Structures are given as structure tokens and as C-alpha cells.
Chain A
Amino acid sequence: AQSVAQPEDQVNVAEGNPLTVKCTYSVSGNPYLFWYVQYPNRGLQFLLKYITGDNLVKGSYGFEAEFNKSQTSFHLKKPSALVSDSALYFCAVSLNTGFQKLVFGTGTRLLVSP
């Protein structure tokens, strides 16, 4: 069965500093991996996804994520955090076969302080 772990409930970072939000996954085949962001009282917004190829994926709002197959990780990163990046971030995984069912992590709250 597929599963996703986001080991940190909350990440705190100062504005201008780099940020990392961690995600590890478990699947029996080759994964597709996604990051979504949720602002207060809003739906989830797609940030980026890994399909195949280059392990570094670039997405919206300056975010990027690095796929590491040996460590089964897909950490979200940004070189310089903004206060407006403060939100809830979800990692999700699906298998690359058949009808897509996303399995989500429990979410990590990112708090960027001025």
C-alpha cells in the first residue's frame, strides 16, 4: 500500500532564510509525487510534481523539490522564504499505473516570521 510521511507538524523559518519541508514515501512501484499548498480557509493549490527524469523539480512561487529514490524522499525547498509562504503543505503520492488515487501526508504547517 502507498503511504506518505511528513515527519514535522510545523516548520519555523525566518524570512529570507532557506526552507525545507520534508516528505518520505512508501510505494511498491515507481511513484508520482506531488506537493500542494493550502492557505487558510482555502482549497489545495498544486505546487509541483515529479513524474520522471530530472530529480530536481521546479514549481510555482519559487518552490522546488528533490526526488531521492534511494532515500524515498521528496523534500520541498525554497532558497529564500517569504512571510506569504506561511501555509499548510501537503505531500502526496500515487502509483504510475492505472487510475490515479492520491495518498496524502498529514501536512506540515510552515510559519515564516518577519
Chain B
Amino acid sequence: IAGITQAPTSQILAAGRRMTLRCTQDMRHNAMYWYRQDLGLGLRLIHYSNTAGTTGKGEVPDGYSVSRANTDDFPLTLASAVPSQTSVYFCASSASGSAPDTQYFGPGTRLTVL
């Protein structure tokens, strides 16, 4: 079934450790996004990529980095995790990145930083 996969499903991480959240889509979508979901704050955009080889900063990019080496994969890296990065992380993709494309979401990664 076509869609977005994320790994791991959940992770507990010690503060200061490096962590990469993986995201892969098989819909050949050009645009991909990373959001974090926090209670009472909804979803906030961390980073995005409108095509392979390009990335951009969203609303809350500090402490995170991304790369887009190919169309399918869009990993999110926490270089040195802090407790405030405890959250549920969602990857999404859309066909072109231009409004009003629909964004499709992965199942999420629940990350706990202690």
C-alpha cells in the first residue's frame, strides 16, 4: 500500500544523544515535511523540502537538521537531544509543494528525551 513510513515507532533517548528519525514515502511526491505535535499547540512545522536536494526551515527549526538526498527519504536529525524535544514527530508529503496540495501524513514517531 502506497504511503509514508516512519521509524522508529517510539524511542526513549538520553539527553545529549544524537538521534535520526527516518521517513520514507513511495508516492513519488516532490515535497516533504516534518512536524512536531505537542499537547495544546497542535502541529508545528520543523523543516520542509520542496524537491530533492533542497530544504527549508519551518516554524521551529532550532536543534533539528534535515537532508533530502533523494525523492523518497527525508530524515530528521537531532544532533544533541534535549528534554524539550520530547514530542510526537510526523512526516508528511505532498505532490508538488504548491498550494493547495494535500499533505499526507505518516504514522508518527513518539520521542521521549530524558
B42 near A100 with CB under 8 A, answer no
Size category, A interface: 20 to 34
Interface of B is mostly: strand
Q: Is the CB of B1 closer than 8 A to any CB of chain A?
A: no
Q: Cβ of B40: which chain A residues have Cβ within 8 Å of it? A: 106
A49 near B102 with CB under 8 A, answer yes
Size category, B interface: 20 to 34
Query: Which residues of B (95-111) have their CB < 8 Å from a CB of A?
Result: 97-108
Contact with A along B70-111 (1 / 0, CB 8 A): 000000000000000000001010100111111111111000
Contact with A along B1-34 (1 / 0, CB 8 A): 0001000000000000000000000000001000
State whether A98 and B98 are in contact (beta carbons under 8 Å apart), knowing that A43-B90, A43-B108, A44-B105 are contacts in the complex: yes
Which of A42, A90, A99, A106 has the largest number of chain B CB atoms within 10 A?
A99
Q: Is the CB of A97 closer than 8 A to any CB of chain B?
A: yes
- Shortest distance between the CB of A56 and any CB in chain B (Å): 17
Q: Is the CB of A72 closer than 8 A to any CB of chain B?
A: no
A43 near B98 with CB under 8 A, answer no
- Shortest distance between the CB of A52 and any CB in chain B (Å): 9
Q: Is the CB of B45 closer than 8 A to any CB of chain A?
A: yes
- Chain A minimum-CB-distance residue to B6: A43
State whether A100 and B31 are in contact (beta carbons under 8 Å apart), knowing that A49-B100, A90-B43 are contacts in the complex: yes
Instruction: Determine the distance from Cα of A49 to Cα of B104 in the docked complex, in whole angstroms.
Output: 13
- Chain B minimum-CB-distance residue to A9: B40
Instruction: Determine the distance from Cα of A8 to Cα of B5 in the docked complex, in whole angstroms.
Output: 32
Q: List 17 A-B contacts (CB under 8 A).
A: A43-B4, A43-B105, A45-B105, A51-B100, A94-B99, A94-B100, A97-B99, A98-B98, A98-B99, A100-B31, A100-B97, A100-B103, A104-B44, A105-B42, A106-B40, A106-B42, A107-B42
Which 8 pairs, one residue from A and one from B, show the smallest C-beta to C-beta distance?
A43-B105, A32-B100, A100-B99, A104-B42, A44-B105, A106-B42, A104-B43, A43-B107
